[in-house]
Amino acid sequence: MVVIQQSLTVLSWAYLASSGRPVDELTRRIHYSHIEPLQPPKMKQRSFHIVLDIDKDMLSDPDFERVEHEVHRVHRATNDTFKVNRISNPAEEQNFVRQMRLFTDPFYPWAK
């Protein structure tokens, strides 16, 4: 589990760096993050989702129907670095957010 947590930290740093944010924001605990539960190895999971709330303390009792959500894909490059790209198709991104919120809204304290 320690290796998984370290990997999540590195992936979160990659996202923060790609968006021009200081990577130490994660260690300063100004973000709420969560990884979806990993599937058993026999499922041969090819991807997983990380929810990272940016500036969660900037909003007070927000209307989450109006808060902007962004979805980014992180890929490992051949040189073992990470490449981060926001989903460029707005319809695909909105569909992903709609599906994600079915799970995130009930479970995460910042989504209430």
Tens of pLDDT, residues 48-104: 666 666 666 666 766 767 777 888 888 777 887 778 888 899 999 999 888 888 877
Could you tell me the pTM of the whole model? 0.63
Tens of pLDDT, residues 9-39: 788 888 888 888 898 888 887 776 766 666 6
CA nearest to 90, candidates 105, 69, 111: 69
- Structural domain boundaries, residue 63: 2-111
What pLDDT does 4 receive?
56
Q: How many domains does the chain have?
A: 1
What distance in Å separates the CA atoms of residue 16 and residue 56, rounded to the nearest whole number? 15
Under 8 Å CB-to-CB from 97, ≥6 apart: which residues? 69, 71
Under 8 Å CB-to-CB from 9, ≥6 apart: which residues? 26
Average of per-residue pLDDT across 39-47: 70
Which DSSP state fits 8?
Answer: H
What pLDDT does 89 receive?
94
Largest CA-CA distance found in the chain, in angstroms, rounded? 43
10 Å Cβ neighbour count for 14?
Answer: 19
